[in-house]
Amino acid sequence: MISAYLTSQGINHGVLLRKLPVMQYLFYLSKIPVSMSPLSNNALFLSFDRNPFPDYFQRGLVVTLSTDDPLQFHYTREPLMEEYSIAAQIWKLSSSDMCEIARNSVLACGWEGGLKERWVGKMIECCIDSDGSSYMGSPVAPAPANCHPNNSTTSFGSARSLTFDNDIAKTNVPDIRIQYRQQRHQYEMSIVHSPTGASPPLLMVTPLLSVERLSGEDLAMREEEEEFMEDVKGEFPEMHGRISPALSE
């Protein structure tokens, strides 16, 4: 597990982490994704009641649900849906939990940054100062093609990493859930960066979110405008350039 922590951008299964609390903490601080397949584990060596997935998830590790040998351990044409539905029933996962796990999957996957932005939100820069305090920088545009949420460059006194904002219209994950995760991670990082190791006061500071928030009525109106423009572009391409500036005004 130590070698995996030092060399990997993500690991599969990760059931041995349940015996190594220190490594769990390091994986949490570094936000290294852990992809798990409870159905495979249940069939081979670890029953559902002993599976550490719900513990990892509650503690804030970047855990995802995945398949493992679908022809051997699954019974339908949608093996990933089996993993999600059974996990939701056994561990009483809410809809917000399921959406957060799906969001984690996008962050952990090897897709280029542009596709990740399409599914979860804009890429932003997260900075951690020497005292452990962190803040969200401006959106990164365009998103680097080889972006990974854990890519970071560390210098003396500060650390910078690329992460993704939460666009609730795309992820269905409540902003307050993401804010809570960020605040807890910021608090733990401040302890690690503290020269004395003392626990600082837990400041409930709302992180900056770069996604424009629209009311339900405004969001519906924008969607109607976008659909209208797509229809115009398809049927009357010569008029599209003249109508777009008018709508933007």
- Whether residue 66 is found in the same domain as residue 12: yes
Q: Is residue 240 part of a domain?
A: yes
d(CA 179, CA 206): 7
Active site residues: 13
**For residue 235, what are the contacts with CB-CB under 8 A and spacing of at least 6?**
none
Determine, yes or no, domain membership for 210: no
Domain membership of residue 106 (yes or no) is: no
pLDDT class for 247, splitting at 50, 70, 90? very low
Domain tally for the chain? 3
In a domain, 166, yes or no: yes
Residue carrying structure tokens 């490594």: 23
pLDDT of residue 149: 46
203 found inside a domain: no
Note whether residue 201 is domain-resident. Answer: no
CA distances from 97 to 12, 94, 101, 153 (A): 20, 5, 6, 31
Residue 12 in 3-state DSSP? strand
| 108 within domain boundaries | no
Question: Which among 169, 167, 165 has a CA at the least distance from the CA of 216?
Answer: 169
Tell me the residue ranges of DSSP E strands in the chain: 11-12, 34-36, 63-65, 123-129, 134-139, 152-155, 158-164
CA distance 145 to 237: 31
What local confidence, expressed as pLDDT, does residue 160 receive?
Answer: 53
Q: Report how far residue 10's alpha carbon sits from residue 111's, in angstroms, rounded to the nearest whole number.
A: 14
What is the three-class DSSP state of 34? strand
Task: Count CB atoms within 10 A of the CB of residue 4.
Answer: 17
Same domain, 66 and 135: no
In the block, residue with structure tokens 């020497």: 130
Tell me the sheet residues that pair with 158. Answer: 129, 155
**Averaged pLDDT, 75-97:** 94
For residues 117 and 164, membership in a common domain is answered with yes
pLDDT band, residue 190 (cuts 50/70/90): confident
Question: Residue 101 and residue 139: Cα distance in Å, rounded?
Answer: 23
3-state helix, strand, coil in the chain (%, to 5): 55, 15, 35
Same domain, 117 and 171: yes
C-beta atoms surrounding 147 within 10 Å? 20
Do 51 and 124 sit in the same domain of this protein?
Answer: no
DSSP, collapsed to helix, strand or coil, labels residue 66 as: coil
pTM above 0.85, yes or no: no
Q: Are both 183 and 120 inside the same structural domain?
A: yes
Q: How far apart are the first and last CA of the chain?
A: 56
The helix (run of H) or strand (run of E) holding residue 192 is helix 175-193
Q: What pLDDT, on a 0 to 100 scale, did the predictor assign at position 150? A: 46
Asked whether residue 49 is assigned to any structural domain, the reply reads yes
pLDDT digits (tens, 9 = 90+) for 141-179: 444 444 444 444 333 334 456 678 899 999 999 999 999
What is the longest distance spanned by two Cα atoms in the chain? Answer: 67
75 and 123 share one domain: no
Question: pLDDT of 38-52, one tens digit each?
Answer: 999 988 888 999 999
For residue 135, the enclosing domain spans 113-193
